[in-house]
Amino acid sequence: MSQLPSESAQQAVTYPSLFLLVALGALVPVVPTGAVVSSAAVVAFHQTAPLALLYIFVVASFAAFLGDIALYWLGRRGVNSKNGSRWLAALEQRVADDTLEEAQRKLREHGVTVLVLSRLVPAGRIPVMLACLLSRWPTTRFIKGALPACLAWAATYQLIGILGGSLFTEPWEGVLAAVALTVLISGGPALWRRLRGRGKGKPDGKGGPTPTAGHTAADGPTEPDGRQA
């Protein structure tokens, strides 16, 4: 009968994997890092090691911080270069113009506070980071906001994992619950905005003719020869 790996063996795999996935997800924003942290927290919650959850928090926040700093440094190289860089171009492609303008406005009004909160807002990290880059924030100023942002982010998703772990006796059930909740939190607002945008783009269904160029409903009906009645 096969046995599960010991807790020490699980930890030897979990912490390096967690670090690599979170750091990679910070550099290439396609990895669901929140779900990774929540899943690791579920596993740590069911372990007997008293400091397992603390280690998850430290590793996740440190990896996110290093990833953010590395991405910002790469972006600054593009801002300071005449030809730009593929990293800066990739960030610009991921952010709509109106979203970037909103992030720049909030950054001017609230400064570092916006950067701290950006990691807690779904899809908020990249627009605010790009706004900081285009505003030519020095790396030292960015670090002042990135550090507490990463700490708050790691704590939030770890709490989601602890919640999932406390609701189920089996770790895999808690992992599924934590991943589902994380995906809902991170993807729900974007899906809602997309659905609202489609709804606004549909005709109102009231019917009636559409005014042609140079003629509006207020001008009154038009005779066949083009003269108004």
Task: Give the separation between CA 207 and CA 203, rounded to whole angstroms.
Answer: 9
Which residue, 125, 126, 127, 134, is CA-closest to 98? 127
Contacts of 147 (CB under 8 A, 6+ apart): 65
Per-residue pLDDT of the chain (229 residues; tens, 9 = 90+): 344 455 665 666 678 999 999 999 999 877 788 888 988 888 888 776 778 899 999 999 999 999 999 999 999 988 877 777 788 888 888 888 999 999 999 999 999 999 999 988 878 899 999 999 999 999 999 999 999 999 999 999 999 888 877 776 666 566 676 667 666 666 555 555 555 555 555 444 444 444 444 444 444 444 444 444 4
Residue 177 is predicted with a pLDDT of 67
3-state class of 222 per DSSP?
A: strand
Residue 112 is predicted with a pLDDT of 92
Say if CB 34 and CB 185 are below 8 A apart: yes
Task: Give the separation between CA 160 and CA 182, rounded to whole angstroms.
Answer: 8
Residue 10 is predicted with a pLDDT of 62
Q: What are the distances in angstroms from CA 1 to CA 4, 77?
A: 10, 56
Residue 141 is predicted with a pLDDT of 93
Residue 83 is predicted with a pLDDT of 74
Residue 164 is predicted with a pLDDT of 79
Task: Give the separation between CA 196 and CA 168, rounded to whole angstroms.
Answer: 35
Which residue, 142, 179, 225, is CA-closest to 34? 179
Residue 160 is predicted with a pLDDT of 87
Residue 181 is predicted with a pLDDT of 66
